[in-house]
Amino acid sequence: MHAIRIDRIGGPEVLTFVDIAPPTAPPGGVLVRQSAAGINFIDVYLRTGVYPWPLPFVPGREGAGVVEAVGQGVTGIEVGQRVAYTQPTSGGYAELNAVDLRFVVPVPDDIDDRTACALMLQGMTAHYLAIDTFPLKPGAVALIHAAAGGVGLLLVQIAKSRGARVIATVGTDEKAVLARAAGADDVVVYAEHDFAEVTRELVGAHGVDVAYDSVGKDTWERSLAVLKPRGMLVIFGGASGPVPPINVSALAAGGSLYLTRPTLGDFTRTRDEVLGRARDLFAMVREGKLEARIGAAYPLASAAEAQRDLEARATTGKLLLVP
Ligand code: NDP
């Protein structure tokens, strides 16, 4: 089968298009013939060695397609069934991937494969952030960085559907249009304006209830500074680089602030939790409350170009590979 393999840590050029033996259906899992493989920022951290991973490996943690084979002991999923998944292992940038049943989500007839794929890693992330990490309520003010990105566009929409006021940050005017269309009340182009200053102008001395920060190094300090007393900083990524060690006294000085660094794995601990989040997301799409915007779909062989674009902040919404 065709796949993308990484033999050494490095730039996008280490993403090599190869012909390798396909995996088989694992015990307790299924083999998925993929029509779409998701690209996520974590794929960049793994390729560059920010998160160490044994070499060589086929990157990619997300996909959608049809069950090709069912492993030993699996019940309730059949060959030919449409499924999607996100799993905390590798193997996604390929025609076929072996997926543990715990992460397999049956896809309803009215949800297309690309949408289903987009809702797995980035959708479930936006879901747990808005519903569990900081449960947004009507009237809560949320600051959301990188709001035109994969997670960002979904998080803005879910936050709005829960009645929150959303202040969004984006890198360009074009991205601002997308964030606004997703429902953001105010949008700051943080490449040109100091988002902390603008946020204070917008909400006064009160500050925001929660800052969802996936940009990290370049933003965390000012995200912390615009929280209201007892507000929460949710650092869930570091697209600009990792956040340095934080002095806990800063949380007292800011007004008994909360700080958390959540990961998807801790919010998808059981199959029921995975299926529950997927069900909610599919329902939101069906009700017209959520749109998974596919920013670009690249041929599998162009994975390097796709990751180059992602790192260069040149993309919006969900990026897919088409095997
Ligand atoms: P995005 O589509 O959001 O792409 C990343 C975006 O980050 C860019 O488009 C850019 O938007 C912004 N950015 C700001 N500074 C930089 C920089 N120096 N280099 C690159 N990008 C930068 O990616 P994803 O939706 O896949 O992921 C978004 C974030 O969420 C990532 O940090 C990822 O690690 C994190 N994440 C965390 C999870 C968790 O459970 N903890 C799960 C899923 C994702 P702009 O130009 O508008 O600034």
Q: Assign residue 172 the CATH number of its domain.
A: 3.40.50.720
Give the helix/strand (H/E) hosting 306.
helix 303-311
Neighbours of 292 (CB within 10 A): 24
Distances in whole angstroms, Cα of residue 158 to Cα of each of 107, 150, 279, 317, 320: 20, 13, 14, 15, 22
What is the DSSP pairing of strand 208-213 with strand 2-6? unpaired
Query: Are 137 and 248 in a shared domain?
Result: yes
Query: Are 66 and 131 in a shared domain?
Result: no
C-beta separation of 170 from 189 below 8 A: yes
Q: Give domain status of residue 131, yes or no.
A: yes
Q: Give domain status of residue 285, yes or no.
A: no
Average pLDDT over residues 12-34: 98
16 confidence band (pLDDT: 50, 70, 90) = very high
Is there an atom of ligand 1 within 6 Å of 141 CB? no
Helix pair 150-161, 173-181: axis angle to 10 deg:
30
Average pLDDT over residues 145-158: 98
Ligand 1 centre distance from Cα of residue 23 (Å): 30
Helix pair 303-311, 41-48: axis angle to 10 deg:
100
Q: What is the pLDDT of residue 205?
A: 78
Q: DSSP E strands: which ranges in the chain?
A: 2-6, 15-19, 29-39, 62-70, 82-86, 96-100, 104-106, 141-144, 165-170, 186-189, 208-213, 227-235, 258-260, 294-299, 318-322
Distances in whole angstroms, Cα of residue 227 to Cα of each of 25, 64, 162, 176, 247: 48, 38, 20, 22, 16
What average pLDDT does the structure give for the chain? 98
What residue owns the CA closest to ligand 1's atom 25?
Answer: 150
Q: What is the pLDDT of residue 229?
A: 97
Q: Give domain status of residue 151, yes or no.
A: yes
CA 280 to chain CA mean position, Å: 16
Is there an atom of ligand 1 within 6 Å of 308 CB? no
Query: Are 131 and 227 in a shared domain?
Result: yes
Which of the listed residues 215, 318, 320 should we mutate to test ligand 1's pocket, taking the one with most ligand atoms within 8 A of CB? Answer: 215
Is there an atom of ligand 1 within 6 Å of 235 CB? no
Query: Are 44 and 29 in a shared domain?
Result: yes
Cut 0.95: pTM above it:
yes
Q: What is the pLDDT of residue 306?
A: 98
Structural domain total, the chain: 2
C-beta separation of 174 from 105 below 8 A: no
HSE (side-chain half, CA atoms, 13 Å) at 48: 14
Query: Are 151 and 250 in a shared domain?
Result: yes
283 confidence band (pLDDT: 50, 70, 90) = very high
Is there an atom of ligand 1 within 6 Å of 63 CB? no
Q: What is the pLDDT of residue 216?
A: 98
- Tokens 């993403």 belong to residue: 15
Neighbours of 266 (CB within 10 A): 10
Ligand 1 centre distance from Cα of residue 310 (Å): 8
Query: Are 113 and 35 in a shared domain?
Result: yes
HSE (side-chain half, CA atoms, 13 Å) at 237: 24
C-beta separation of 125 from 264 below 8 A: yes
pLDDT at 105 over 90: yes
Ligand 1 centre distance from Cα of residue 156 (Å): 14
Query: Are 105 and 185 in a shared domain?
Result: no
- Per cent of the chain over pLDDT 90 is 99
CA 187 to chain CA mean position, Å: 20
Query: Are 145 and 249 in a shared domain?
Result: yes
What residue owns the CA closest to ligand 1's atom 36?
Answer: 237
Q: Give domain status of residue 286, yes or no.
A: no
206 confidence band (pLDDT: 50, 70, 90) = confident
Q: Give domain status of residue 274, yes or no.
A: no
State the residue range of the domain holding 193.
123-264
